[in-house]
Structure 1
Amino acid sequence: MSPDLSRRAMTDSGELDLRPLPPGVEVLLTDVRAAPRLVAHLRAVHDVACQLTEWIRRHHPGVAFDRAAVEFGAAVHDIGKVEHLDELSGPGSAHEHAGYELLLARGVEEPLARFARTHASWTAAGVGVEDLLVSLADKVWKAKRVPELEHLITEHLATANGQPTWEVFMSLDDELDRIAADADRRLAFQASFPITP
């Protein structure tokens, strides 16, 4: 890892105004020698997760969820790619279990480590709204829309607030369009960092 480039990925935002990573995540990514591009990706997804949690707080205040867990989960969801670097630029799911095990080995408690293994499994048993939000952030950061995932979140929000599903969907759709509008800049930010030193 290039410490200077990884540090820059953690602190610079280019043309974006990306939020800082949650406390402890920068140290964790440094300790595992995360590649600069991975750090940039995690930072971009974390920022989108923050936008989603803020939107829910404002528009669906009756929805109970762990905002800090969502934001932490988004900031570490792909950490297993330190062991499966080829999955940074190509498909693969080996990083999911590897990331979960890596986080547990580093002292991260299971309720937070789980995001490494659930971020691509939104239909699995036991997946909660926090997992769905991390999954959504991991898709919409690059303007990818996944109707099945969006439907699950819409249903959860509508049920929790007692609102019509169509009304919640329209509002969520507008927010995802707004977030997706910056996808090119987030992708350029990520691509500005190398996969390897």
Structure 2
Amino acid sequence: MNRVVSPEAAREILVALGAPRRLMTHGRLVLEAADELLRAMRTLGVDVDERLVRAGAMLHDAGKILHPNELTNPGKNHEEAGEAMLLAQDVDPVVARCCVTHAQWASFDCSLEELLVALADALWKGIRRDPIERRVVDEVARRLRGDAWESFVVLDECFERIAEAGPERLERSVRADADA
């Protein structure tokens, strides 16, 4: 039976698979950003699968266990490798798919949950990406059957708040690497 995992269970999966400290830290920092996005969804009254978003935030880069050079260098090999590895661990395919969609969201018909994982992966380090932000705003407005501008006002403030904390999160990431 496939399972959508909690962030704690996701952490245990990563540890069992031999994830390096840097990857564990990255997952936690992306989860922090995802939690902020989820608070905004609750504020707006948007129903999302929070467990999926939180698990996806922790596990989206799991494939870097198999491709450790991509922890510090660009690369896409970890995406499909991560999905396959998580599927072999009986992780719900929807969560495992976040390994691919976090980077290739523009090429897929993604759920709002997948988009939130991808957005958290950018915002955690202070990077604003208009195309994905716009896609999230549009999907939220569609779900609320409202005006995109109304959703934008709330979400833009959230996106900016997360991005402003990016340098501090990056510093924590660097410190965690140095302490290893």
- In structure 2, the residue matched to 1:125 is 108
- 1:183 is aligned, of 161, 166, 174, to 166
Give yes or no for the alignment of 1:76 onto 2:55. Answer: no
Does the CA-based 8 Å contact 1:46-1:74 persist in structure 2?
A: yes
1: CA distance between counterparts of 2:122 and 2:102? 10
Between the aligned partners of 2:145 and 2:15, the Cα distance in structure 1 is: 44
Identity of aligned residues (%): 35
Q: Give the match's secondary structure for 2:107.
A: coil
The answer as to whether partners of 1:35 and 1:194 remain within 8 angstroms in 2 is: no
Unaligned runs of 5+ in 2: 1-5
| 1:170 CA drift (Å) | 2.2
Unaligned runs of 5+ in 1: 1-20
Cα RMSD of the aligned pairs, angstroms, is: 1.5
Deviation of 1:90 after TM superposition, in Å, equals 1.4
Partner residue of 2:84? 101
Deviation of 1:163 after TM superposition, in Å, equals 2.4
Per-residue CA shift, 1:31-67, capped at 9, x if unaligned? 1111111110010001111111111111x21x23211
Contact 1:74/1:134 (<8 A) preserved: yes
Write the distance in 2 (CA, Å) between the matches of 1:173 and 1:109.
31
C-alpha distance in structure 2 between counterparts of 1:162 and 1:23, whole Å: 34
Secondary structure (helix, strand or coil) at the match of 1:23 reads helix
Distance 1:82 1:161 in 2: 39
Q: Which amino acid aligns with 2:24?
A: V
Q: Given residue 85 of structure 1, which amino acid in structure 2 is its aligned partner?
A: P
Match of 2:25 among 40, 53, 64: 40
Q: Could you say what secondary structure the match of 2:7 adopts?
A: coil
Residue 113 of structure 1 is matched in structure 2 by 96
What's the counterpart of residue 126 of structure 2? 143
- For the 8 Å contact 2:33–2:162, the answer to whether it is kept is yes
TM-score by length of 1: 0.83
Preserved CA contact (<8 Å) 1:118 1:127 = yes
Task: Report the equivalent of 2:145.
Answer: 162
Q: What TM-score, normalized to structure 2? A: 0.91
Residue 8 of structure 1 aligns with which residue?
A: none
Query: Match of 2:106, SS?
Result: coil
1:26 corresponds in structure 2 to 11
